[in-house]
Amino acid sequence: MSSARYTATRTSLRTAAIMVGFTAIFTAIMAFTFDTTRPAIEAARIEEQMRLIDEVLPRDRYDNLLLEDFVDVGPHPALAGNRVSRIWRARKAGQPVALIAESSAPDGYAGRIELIVAIQADGTVSGVRVTAHKETPGLGDYIDPRKDRNKTRPWISQFVAVDWNAIEASKWTVRKDGGVFDYHTGATISARAVTRAVGRTVGHVVEQRDALFAAPSASRL
């Protein structure tokens, strides 16, 4: 082997070794960073989940560890469509209080609208919140109470205390379509999508209520 070729080989091997070393160090740093930040990320995720749940079901109504008492359902067309939906179970002194279901409306004006819906054990809606959407700012985004200009009575609050058993299934839509729920003129699509999704969700949860409460925790139905 010539001196020039030998030198080039040594240089290539040294460069490769340096690259491998840098890669190993970088991977170790990334792994360390992930391990050290994971608890904080998980805590933030849990805090956000509880913040949303608190808005639809106050904590004084139940005494179990809500986030640990759940079942996964689906995919089911009445809930999150082609995705699995998580349903948390609220109990007090061991007795069923409410079910909080992840759901979604696939037919929003700008795409899918994500929801959580809380249904009390008697079939009455405790609350509804939009958790993610892309509806038009200033027009259809009133479905999110944080964006609704009516802070006294946000549009989404009309579902509170509505009894599934008191309204025909076909009436779970906006008044424009023959239903019983309000909407904002000029922004019907967003309200229609959310209202119908809430109706589908409540109907399914009420129908499956006993099975949902009886299923083993962390199981899938």
Digitized pLDDT (tens) for each residue of the chain, 221 residues in all: 555 555 656 666 677 667 666 676 666 566 555 455 555 665 555 577 788 899 999 999 999 999 999 999 989 999 988 899 999 999 999 999 999 999 999 999 999 999 999 999 999 999 999 999 999 999 999 999 999 999 999 999 999 999 999 999 999 999 999 999 999 988 999 999 999 999 999 999 999 999 999 999 999 98
User: How many Å apart are CA 68 and CA 89, to the nearest integer?
Assistant: 9
Closest CA to 198 of 175, 172, 176, 180: 172
Q: Is the pTM of this model over 0.95?
A: no
pLDDT of residue 50: 81
pLDDT of residue 82: 85
Write the DSSP symbol of residue 144: S
User: How many Å apart are CA 221 and CA 218, to the nearest integer?
Assistant: 10
